[in-house]
Structure 1
Amino acid sequence: MKIALISSGFLPVVDGVSVAIANRLQQLSRQGHSVLLLVPDYAALGQTYPDWQTHVGSILPNVKVVPLESNPALGLAFERDVKPKAYRTVLAELGAFAPDIIHVDEPERLSFCLLKKPGIAYARQHNIPCVGFFHTHYIDYIDDYVTCPKIFTAGIQALFKVLFAWIYNSYDATLVASPTTYQAVCRMGIRNAVQDDFLGFDAPSFWAVQRQPHFFEQTYGLKNLENTVRLVFVGRLTPDKGWGFTCHAARQLIKAVNPADVSLIIVGDGPLRESLEQDLGSLFTHVHLLGRIPPQQMPALLANSDIHVTASAKETTGLTVLEASASGIPILAPRAGGVVDYIYDGQTGFLFNPQDPEDFVQKLRFLIENMTVRQAMGAAGKDHVIPYSWEQAVERLLIFWQTKISERTREKFQTTLHSPPQPPESGGS
């Protein structure tokens, strides 16, 4: 199969979209499929990502990554968005590659950047399927970034719902990975949504790792963590990830547990880093912000932690939830968004009521004080995520892609079959 992927982001940026695509490429290459990936150019972020060049060109057998001209993204120093004029490159690369199907990750973000719905025109011209993948609840982020009366915020959100539905309904399908997200996109007016377990985790890497003594001291130079309960937070340090609630709840947590008995390990970067370091550092003895961690280091880091904590209520799936369960540690997460589909409340972790610091503290304190419960939940989590390996997730995606290709082939045949015969050309004397 020849597959063209167009994405709003890729490595070296580490987030749910880029990690998903990187794992998808590994599986597709291993199975011998030909893949073209079009992504923003990260050359301008060479100081932030000195290894950016390792993620462009022929990075795997049968996989070619083409960078597209880009601008700074949303005012964030560590991301890029494609420029409108990059659309010419998109069309040229698609024309040279001649894909069987086009798959677009985050078409709403790309549409706003390119000022065109990516892949649609080419797919219609060449009569091939073109599908989109819904990764991010951007509409829900408006509350975190726009300061204005609620009535105006609601109006902005309503407008974007209409725009996003218009964009996604232009595709042959909108793929989503969680049942909760499926319900959300249907409420937005997206009529072509298809839900399946299209996302996963790197099972061989996570299952191969064991806990090791003094891991954080030997790997990251962090001392005196062995006798603490290690809480690991993973995600961008931006307002949409619920850090405001985390800091608020932390002030109550220190009244319920001895702060010296707990260590906070935060993986990720963003504009809130300095304020988080100051706010949380004033409450706990052990607060360590590790910045960006390469995906290949995450299995060992999670396996040597004790509890994965997130306050983000706007995740569509939350790959780190799957990864934490695969690492054998329990999860504390809000009862909101797509994460609820991947946590068995009371069995593989706890769900707390969103924006309820008392519920958060009560459940986190219980996990901190009960090692046997943590171990039992961790073991249950490993069993729970068995169906979510990337191998299985990509196989589901391939089956779906092939179904759409076959449908289009039948449509072409039916059109040809029912077309009136053309009269023969008359010969001249």
Structure 2
Amino acid sequence: MRVLIGSESFSPNISGVAVTTFNLAAYLARRGHEVTLMVPSPRFGNFTEVFPEGFHVLRVASVWHPFRKGFRVTVYPLNLARRVVRQWRPDIVHLQDPTSIGSALLKATQEAGLPVVISHHFTLEYVLAYLWFLRPFHKSLRRRLTTAMVRFYNQCRHVICPSETVRQSLLQAGVAVPVTAISNGVDLDRFFAYEPPLAARLAFHLPAKPLILYVGRMDPDKSLDTLFKAMPLILARHDVHFALCGTGNLREKFERLVKKDGLAAHVSFLGPFVNQSDQLPRLYQLATCFVIPSGIESQSIVTLEAMASGLPIVAARAGALPELVTDGDNGFLFTLGDPEDLAAKVDALLADEKKRRKMGRRSLEKVVTHKLEASMARIETIYQQVVSNG
């Protein structure tokens, strides 16, 4: 089968969509499918490359994202999309988002009479977080964006989303085509690995203390200010260290904040190079617990990775996170935006090693149902059904 995948986020961008898109392309190539991706170029120019995993990537001329630091976006490359569809003639097109490349490919495939499926990875709160300057108009914008999204999705044959929470929200919004919840999945073999902690601590220059870990973007939608406000409350009771791995619009602000508050000795900011390398599993293995304060997760790949590493999770009771974290079972849920509640839940973990270990084991047991290969196989089955139905 020839599969054309369109995504506005792909390596070297760091995001859940980029990770999922790479995993899908690599899986399909291993299965013998011909796979081509259309993704933004790192410059204002088109070029192609072949990844070692066996799929082709067409990099589309792009410009800097006006609101998201370090990201580049394309400008509705319709003529290029038409040419790719006409010359390559895919059996199916899989869009990863309804933005520029996705919109161009949808139009081109409709003209060619080819089937399209789309994955839904985001919440509208994620979009609105970058439009903070339009806050007085958010209610109206949310309605308009929802209408546009539903109209777009109903032109596709099938919608894939990562959680039942998101599936229900799409159906309630008015999506009329089939919607299937399929976990983003996680490579269990990669994160089950174990090594003695000393070497990893030396590699990351981390002290021999309990480690509270966050991995992900440092952008407005991630509610990281809740974690930073909780830090002094946690440090008042426990001698711990915080490691934050990632980058984003707010990273420099948070670095200045910890210096201003006298917390610099207790916080390490680890660069995006860790996310993009084999170092990441080592970092998870060092952690005592994983914290995710975001309220907009449609699933959360990093939470799956932390679970696969045997960690107890402290997560916001919001979005789809309660599908991964059962309060009191494999971690704790705290009230979104409440630093006191977050600190109390971390304190409960740090104060009880037996409970912490039990919750870590439960994370391992729960994450087995999110095996990456199984998720990718379900998507492949949807392709076959859509293509066979014409």
TM-score (structure 2 length as normaliser): 0.92
Residue number in structure 1 paired with 2:334: 352
**Which residue of 1 is the match for residue 105 of structure 2?**
119
Note if contact 2:92-2:116 (Cα within 8 Å) is conserved in structure 1. Answer: yes
* One of 93, 107, 121 as aligned partner of 1:102: 93
Q: Residues 101 and 359 from structure 1, CA distance in 2 versus in 1: closer, same or farther, beyond 3 angstroms?
A: same
Distance of aligned partners of 1:264 and 1:355 in 2 relative to their CA distance in 1, 3 Å threshold: same
**1:64 maps onto 2:56 in alignment:** yes
Deviation at 1:124, TM superposition (A): 2.9
Alignment pair present for 1:155 and 2:140: yes
In the TM superposition, what is the alpha-carbon distance from 1:69 to its structure 2 partner?
0.9
Q: 1:74-93: CA deviations, max 9, x gaps?
A: 33331110123x22222212
Q: CA deviation at 1:379?
A: 1.3
Q: Distance in 2 between matches of 1:300 and 1:275?
A: 27
- After superposition, the C-alpha distances for 1:109-138 in whole angstroms (9 at most, x for unaligned) are 22xxx6x82332333333321011111113
Equivalence map 1:13-412=2 (5 Å): 13-43=13-43, 57-60=49-52, 62-84=54-76, 86-107=77-98, 109-110=99-100, 117-143=103-129, 145-147=131-133, 150=136, 152-207=137-192, 209-222=193-206, 225-226=207-208, 228-255=209-236, 257-258=237-238, 261-281=239-259, 282-284=261-263, 285-292=265-272, 293=274, 294-408=276-390
> What is the one-letter code of the residue matched to 2:174?
G
Q: Is the 8 A contact 2:187 2:371 kept in 1?
A: yes
1:222-242 residue CA offsets vs partner (Å, 9 max, x unmatched): 3xx21x110111111111110
| CA distance in 2: counterparts of 1:93 and 1:128, whole angstroms | 13
- Cα distance, 1:101 vs. partner? 0.5
Which secondary structure does the structure 2 equivalent of 1:385 belong to? helix
Change (3 A) 1:215 1:374: farther
2:10, 2:134 → 1: CA distance? 33
Residues 283, 168 of structure 1: CA spacing in aligned structure 2 closer, same or farther, 3 A cutoff?
farther
Show CA shifts across 1:39-78 (max 9, x none): 0001479xxxxxxx9xx51114641100001111133331
Measured at CA, do residues 328 and 2 of structure 1 come closer, stay the same or move farther in structure 2, by a change above 3 Å? same
Q: Whole-Å Cα distance in 2 between the matches of residues 360 and 196 of structure 1?
A: 29
CA RMSD of aligned residues (A): 2.1
Hey, what's the Cα distance between the residues in 2 that align with 1:44 and 1:299?
A: 34
Looking at structure 2, the residues matched to 327 and 166 of structure 1 have their Cα atoms a distance apart, in angstroms, of 40
Deviates more, 1:316-325 or 1:374-383: 374-383
| Mapped contact 1:24–1:394 kept (Cα < 8 A) | yes
Look up the equivalent residue of 1:289 and give its one-letter code.
F
Q: Which runs of 5+ in 1 are unaligned?
A: 46-52, 409-429
CA gap 1:334/1:29 in 2 versus in 1, 3 angstroms: same
Distance 1:358 1:239, change over 3 A: same
Measure how far apart 1:166 and its partner are.
Answer: 1.5
The C-alpha deviation readout for 1:148-196, integer Å capped at 9, x for no partner, is 565x221121121111211222211221110111122223332225123
Mapped contact 1:16–1:319 kept (Cα < 8 A): yes
Take 1:379 and 1:40, find their aligned partners in 2: how far apart are those partners? 40
- Comparing 68-77 and 129-138, the one that deviates more: 68-77
Q: Which runs of 5+ in 2 are unaligned?
A: none
- Quote the Cα distance in structure 2 between the aligned partners of 1:23 and 1:371: 35
**Pair 1:9 & 2:25 matched:** no
Label 1:186 to 1:275 Cα distance change in 2 as closer, same or farther (>3 A): same
Residue pair 1:5, 1:35 contacting (<8 A) in 2 also: yes
The residue identity in structure 1 corresponding to 2:82 is: L
Counterpart Cα distance in 2 of 1:80 and 1:149: 24
Residue identity matched to 1:246:
L
Aligned-partner residue type, residue 350 of structure 1: F
Indicate conservation of the 8 Å contact 2:227/2:342, yes or no: no
Assess if the C-alpha contact under 8 Å between 1:343 and 1:349 holds in 2. yes
How far apart are the structure 2 equivalents of 1:125 and 1:19? 30
2-side partners of 1:198 and 1:331: how far apart?
Answer: 18
Deviation at 1:205, TM superposition (A): 1.1
Deviation at 1:36, TM superposition (A): 0.8
Cα deviation digits, residues 253-274 of structure 1 (max 9, x gap): 344x23xx11110011122112
**2:223 and 2:135 mapped to 1: Cα distance?**
20
CA 1:320–1:193: 2 relative to 1, 3 Å = farther
8 Å Cα contact 2:96-2:120 kept in structure 1: yes
The alignment of Structure 1 onto Structure 2 pairs a total of residues equal to 385
